């Protein structure tokens, strides 16, 4: 249970953040997590606020609350004494000052919005602008306003609000203006010729990160970019915890939808400001996310995504308006939400298919989206087959003792130097704070090569090692009752805590890599193909941009038969797909066709699933004690 203060309520308390000095005044009894969010900081809550993962640690420098029993068990006495607490365990009952590492605050995480190569497209958006000069009414030509407009533009669908505004708008424009049209649907009638100002926004809604781009829908030019951490992280780091949270009741669903919409709205506002463009001139918003993110975004109860047989609500594209969804752009803007392929193969994967043109390749090709989950699509022999794996968010640093997102202070690359010891690179050259996905892959590959981890995934004891360089062997320790590998000494880190890779962490990586590899193997086998036949393996997702091909192959994230030269990291393909759909009606239609054409395979129904999965749980056999290239 979270602590709830019994002290008498006063109206509000002030939460102060150090070093920024930012404050938030919140009502008595506010959950510290929410207070931090109010102050602009999104804590990590992989366990959904249950007090079990320890990822929401904060340093209370003034006004630290009494530690709870859970905290006494999870945090050592010295840390408790200097004010370390878990944000999820406390409700504010007084003013509080918290020292927050900058990396936890939004905007500093390098969230991927770049796509490897900007896909070329004919700019012909679903929403078009047409300038019209109408004859003003006269005695003798008393045609109704709408009839007059339709005689110039063809039949229109006009909602009641716009119909109410139309007579005033036509007269204010002296009957000369620009019609904004979404097919037959009239979005607006603007005075004068406004064809030059025509914007569209594309948003990628990831489980962990949000990325957006504002586009000139006339030229296709990118005007602005924005990124955020997905604020829903505080309800759990994976889709299942969020499904569970949202499925509790309508208020929970509304709440988890609201926090996401609030941040997307901030991103839209921020991009419009950066481009010095009015929000009202954004007439198109495309959104691509995994199935759960899309349902939460749309306010569609995701409970059936959390139950066998994991059925999505819509499947095909959802078209709605900004007003219906609550986006701050033109209220009648066309909102296009990407179609999904299955319960765990979502619109982000369809966006990737669209952006990479995977289906158009002659040789068999694979798209792997290593985001918070691992989704795979195989294109072979004119057919598309997709599957979701249960990879989990290990590659994003979650569920790893000292894992973290790719943010300042994250170790992102690890190698062995001439002296046989580790070389680390951290993002922003900051003091190390933890390990991000690419470093985890490097590290696991390195430990396998040096025989420190065996194929069965066990961290060997120092005395068992035959070939490992002594500096590495010396890093084998026992911590928290389990074997661990010391990545950085306490003295070397930002917060004075040693950074370890524990035995349990190795198991997590083994599971995650094995799940993806097993999925790839099952898809290939069902298509009668082998890994060696693959002409191209496209790895998408924020993670994929930073890992090293050989490390990925070494730990068995991909079948080792794949030629490393055929692996290509394509970056944020979901956002690239959303961008195409924002700029082209044909691409919206293509997205719908791709999703409909793509066969969805529930891996668990494959008769050889269990055997394949069990085999993939073993790290691949491979060369050991070879110095990293």
Q: Which stretch binds a copy of itself (CB under 8 A): 184-192, 297-305, 363-371, 525-533?
A: 297-305
CA angle in degrees (0–180, nearest 5) for 195-198-199: 175
Q: What residue spans of 361-502 are helical by DSSP H?
A: 437-449, 470-473
| Burial category of 229 from C-beta neighbours within 10 Å (exposed 0-12, middle 13-18, buried 19 and up) | buried
- At which residue do the structure tokens 């797909």 appear? 577
Interaction of residue 179 with a copy of itself, rule CB under 8 A: no
Interaction of residue 172 with a copy of itself, rule CB under 8 A: no
Q: Which of 310, 451, 495, 507 binds a copy of itself (CB under 8 A)?
A: 310
Q: Which of 140, 481, 607, 623 binds a copy of itself (CB under 8 A)?
A: 140
Q: Which of 15, 180, 300, 329 binds a copy of itself (CB under 8 A)?
A: 300
Q: Which stretch binds a copy of itself (CB under 8 A): 65-73, 336-344, 415-423, 441-449?
A: 336-344
The SS3 assignment for 41 reads: coil
Q: Which of 256, 600, 613, 619 binds a copy of itself (CB under 8 A)?
A: 600
CA distance 583 to 370: 26
Interaction of residue 314 with a copy of itself, rule CB under 8 A: yes
According to DSSP, residue 620 is labeled P
Interaction of residue 347 with a copy of itself, rule CB under 8 A: no
Closest CB 61 distance from a copy of itself, rounded Å: 45
Interaction of residue 154 with a copy of itself, rule CB under 8 A: no
Q: Which stretch binds a copy of itself (CB under 8 A): 319-327, 454-462, 482-490, 612-620?
A: 319-327
Nearest alpha-carbon partner for 134 in 94, 101, 93, 166: 166
CA distance 351 to 572: 9
Q: What's the full length of the chain, in residues?
A: 629
Q: Are residues 465 and 451 in contact, defined by beta-carbon separation less than 8 angstroms?
A: yes
Interaction of residue 160 with a copy of itself, rule CB under 8 A: yes
Q: Which is nearer to a copy of itself, 87 or 325 (CB)?
A: 325
Q: Are residues 359 and 381 in contact, defined by beta-carbon separation less than 8 angstroms?
A: no
Interaction of residue 599 with a copy of itself, rule CB under 8 A: no
Number of residues that bind a copy of itself (CB under 8 A): 46
Q: Are residues 315 and 321 in contact, defined by beta-carbon separation less than 8 angstroms?
A: no
Interaction of residue 535 with a copy of itself, rule CB under 8 A: no
Q: Which of 272, 298, 387, 472 binds a copy of itself (CB under 8 A)?
A: 298
Per residue in 54-76, is it b (16+ CB within 10 Å) or e — as a string?
Answer: bbbbbbbeebbbebbebbeebbe
Q: Which is nearer to a copy of itself, 314 or 486 (CB)?
A: 314
Q: Which is nearer to a copy of itself, 339 or 544 (CB)?
A: 339
Closest CB 621 distance from a copy of itself, rounded Å: 34
CA distances from 495 to 57, 78, 101, 600 (A): 11, 13, 9, 46
Interaction of residue 265 with a copy of itself, rule CB under 8 A: no
Contacting residues toward a copy of itself, per CB under 8 A? 137-147, 150, 159-160, 163-164, 166-168, 171, 298-301, 303-304, 308-316, 318, 320, 324-325, 340, 342-343, 600, 602, 604-605
């Amino acid at each position: 249970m979270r602590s709830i203060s019994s002290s008498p309520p006063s109206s509000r308390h002030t939460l102060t953040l150090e070093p920024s000095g930012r404050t938030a005044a919140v009502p008595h009894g506010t959950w510290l997590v929410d207070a931090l969010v109010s102050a602009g900081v999104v804590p990590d809550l992989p366990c959904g606020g249950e007090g079990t993962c320890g990822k929401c640690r904060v340093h209370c420098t003034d006004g630290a609350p009494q530690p709870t029993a859970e905290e006494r068990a999870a945090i050592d006495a010295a840390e408790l004494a200097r004010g370390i607490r878990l944000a999820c365990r406390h409700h504010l009952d007084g003013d509080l000052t918290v020292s927050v590492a900058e990396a936890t605050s939004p905007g500093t995480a390098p969230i991927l919005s770049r796509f490897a190569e900007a896909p070329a497209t004919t700019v012909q958006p679903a929403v078009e602008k047409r300038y019209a000069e109408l004859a003003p009414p006269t005695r003798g030509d008393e045609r109704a306003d709408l009839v007059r407009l339709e005689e110039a533009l063809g039949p229109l669908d006009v909602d009641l609000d716009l119909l109410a505004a139309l007579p005033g708008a036509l007269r204010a424009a002296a009957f000369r203006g620009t019609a904004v049209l979404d097919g037959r649907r009239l979005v607006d009638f603007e005075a004068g010729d406004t064809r030059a100002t025509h914007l569209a926004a594309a948003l990628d809604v990831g489980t962990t990160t949000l990325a957006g781009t504002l586009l000139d829908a006339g030229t296709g030019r990118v005007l602005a970019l924005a990124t955020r951490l997905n604020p829903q992280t505080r309800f759990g780091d994976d889709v299942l915890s969020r499904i569970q949270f949202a499925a509790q009741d309508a208020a929970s669903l509304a709440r988890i939808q609201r926090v996401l919409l609030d941040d997307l709205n901030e991103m839209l506002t921020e991009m419009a400001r950066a481009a010095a463009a009015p929000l009202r001139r954004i007439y198109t918003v495309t959104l691509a996310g995994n199935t759960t993110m899309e349902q939460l975004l749309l306010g569609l109860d995701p409970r059936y995504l959390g139950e066998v047989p994991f059925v999505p609500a819509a499947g095909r594209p959802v078209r709605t308006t900004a007003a219906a969804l609550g986006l701050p752009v033109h209220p009648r803007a066309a909102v296009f939400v990407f179609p999904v392929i299955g319960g765990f193969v979502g619109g982000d994967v369809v966006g990737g298919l669209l952006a990479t043109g995977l289906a158009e390749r002659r040789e068999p090709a694979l798209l792997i989206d290593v985001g918070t989950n691992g989704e795979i699509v195989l294109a072979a022999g004119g057919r598309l087959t997709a599957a979701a794996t249960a990879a989990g968010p290990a590659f994003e640093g979650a569920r790893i003792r000292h894992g973290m997102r790719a943010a300042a202070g994250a170790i992102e690359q690890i190698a062995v130097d001439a002296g046989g010891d580790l070389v680390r690179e951290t993002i922003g050259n900051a003091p190390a704070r933890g390990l991000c996905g690419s470093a985890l892959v490097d590290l696991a590959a390195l430990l396998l090569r040096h025989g420190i981890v065996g194929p069965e995934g066990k961290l060997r004891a120092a005395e068992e090692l035959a070939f490992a360089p002594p500096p590495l062997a010396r890093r084998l320790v026992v911590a928290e009752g389990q074997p661990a590998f010391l990545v950085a000494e306490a003295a070397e880190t930002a917060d004075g805590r040693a950074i370890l890779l524990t035995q349990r962490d190795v198991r997590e990586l083994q599971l995650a890599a094995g799940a993806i590899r097993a999925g790839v193997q099952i898809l290939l086998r069902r298509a009668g193909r082998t890994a060696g036949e693959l002409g191209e393996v496209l790895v998408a997702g924020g993670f994929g941009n930073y890992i090293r091909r050989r490390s990925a192959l070494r730990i068995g994230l991909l079948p080792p038969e794949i030629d490393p030269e055929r692996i290509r990291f394509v970056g944020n393909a979901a956002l690239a797909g959303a961008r195409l759909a924002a700029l082209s009606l044909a691409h919206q239609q293509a997205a719908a066709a791709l999703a409909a054409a793509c066969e969805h395979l529930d891996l668990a129904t494959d008769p050889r699933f269990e055997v394949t999965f069990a085999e993939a749980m073993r790290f691949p056999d491979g060369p050991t004690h070879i110095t990293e290239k």
